[in-house]
Amino acid sequence: MKKKFVAACSLAGCSALAHAEPNVTLYGDLDQYLGYIHSSSGKSVTGLNDGAILRSRLGLRGVEELGGGYQTRFTLEQGLNANTGGAADSSRLFDRQAWVGMTTPAGEFRIGRQNTIVFFIGGAIDYTERTTYGSVINTFGVPSRYDNDISYKSPRVAGFQFDAHYALTESAGESIGARGVYQFGLDYSQGPYRAGYAGLWAKPAANAQFSKKVVYHNLYANYDYGKGKLYFAYVRSNNVTSNASGNTAAAILNNVSIPGNAFTGANADVQRMYNIYQVSADYRLSPQWRIGALYGVMQDTSHRDSGAQGGNFGTYYDLSKRTTLYGFASYMKNDANAGFRFSGSAGPTANLAGADINGKSLAGLQAGILHRF
């Protein structure tokens, strides 16, 4: 339910927005779940976590009609830890999005902190929108958003839509384009078919010990067969996940921000490339009730025995257009030298690490409620 925002802006802590035009909308969601994780080491953990499907958030969204097919648009969005009431990122007021842009007959232009193309196409990856414990793609880690980002999205023509982003480094003495985070996407959607590509590239700091670029390539396709969808996805990346702990602990390029949108080039793991394959399907038992399953394999092409495989089974039940109950049962097996662990839309606050995940198998359960407003 979208509400016109005409009261004081408690989210931003500023009364000036109380006088905003009536085309400003307050929106958000609350997603809370009980999570249980058990390791083959014998250790288990249970906790109340935020964001199995969607990270809890509050946002402001505005549109001003300029006429002739032109609009000014903005979004300010803050992530929440609803289980504690704290901010998802205490160093930022709007950690998820903070951008302003224009929609024109030639497409949409935005500047500011924005979600990545890879993040945006999550609903095309698997039936869980690539966010639950069982998604191997989510376990590896997804580049989600970056600062100082300039983007363009084309109109959809004959089913095709093009996306491009460039996040500046803002480094003294460097020309535009010398480094930063580059993104490109091409999405096709026509009838029951959807397919596309989303990619990201980033260069290391000057004079880096390891000069190899960070890349993230994502191919996807799905088919709506009426009662549900079939999903196929492939990822190739050398950006070892920040959702891991232990043998594969460090993200080379941070998934949500990094000073100057560049990385130091000091981590030898940038030379290690992964291939990830995942298949998924869902089926609607009734207008309110949907079930699904997925399976994925993460292959370390450097042959260091540092991959993983796993999957899940899940169910969603819509109590209304805004409220959904859900449950998932997931399993993952780390290779001997891997240390990947479960994640959701947000990293679980109750999780396992170290000797309890390195080379271990993990089983997980999630049961929760998602409310959108």
Question: What digits encode the pLDDT tens for the residues 319-353?
Answer: 999 999 999 999 999 999 899 999 999 889 999 98
What torsion, rounded to 10 degrees, do the Cα atoms 60, 66, 72, 73 define? 40
Q: How far is CA 304 from CA 238, 274, 340, 355, 361, in A?
A: 13, 11, 14, 18, 18
Q: What's CA 275's distance to the chain center, in Å?
A: 18
Residue 269, helix vs strand vs coil: helix
Cα radius of gyration rounded to whole Å, the chain: 21
How confident is the model at residue 10, as a pLDDT? Answer: 45
pLDDT at 192 over 50: yes
Residue type for 99, please? W
Q: Give the pLDDT band of residue 213 (cuts 50, 70, 90).
A: very high
List CB contacts of 120: < 8 A, sequence separation 6 or more.
163, 185, 198
List CB contacts of 320: < 8 A, sequence separation 6 or more.
none
Neighbours of 172 (CB within 10 A): 5
Q: Distance (Å, rounded) from C-alpha 307 to C-alpha 310?
A: 11
Q: How do residues 3-40 score in pLDDT, each as one tens digit?
A: 444 443 444 444 444 444 559 999 999 999 999 999 99
Q: Distance (Å, rounded) from C-alpha 169 to C-alpha 346?
A: 26
Q: Is there a contact between 276 and 298 (Cβ–Cβ < 8 Å)?
A: yes
How confident is the model at residue 8, as a pLDDT? Answer: 39
How confident is the model at residue 247, as a pLDDT? Answer: 54
How confident is the model at residue 228, as a pLDDT? Answer: 98
How confident is the model at residue 96, as a pLDDT? Answer: 96
Which tops the pLDDT comparison, 306 or 227?
227
Q: What's CA 77's distance to the chain center, in Å?
A: 14
How confident is the model at residue 13, as a pLDDT? Answer: 46
Closest to 91 (Cα-Cα) out of 113, 75, 111, 73? 113
Q: What is the chain's mean pLDDT, rounded? A: 89
Please give the domain boundaries of the chain with CATH numbers for all domains. Answer: 24-372 (2.40.160.10)
Q: How do residues 74-121 score in pLDDT, each as one tens digit?
A: 999 999 999 999 999 999 999 999 999 999 999 999 999 999 999 999
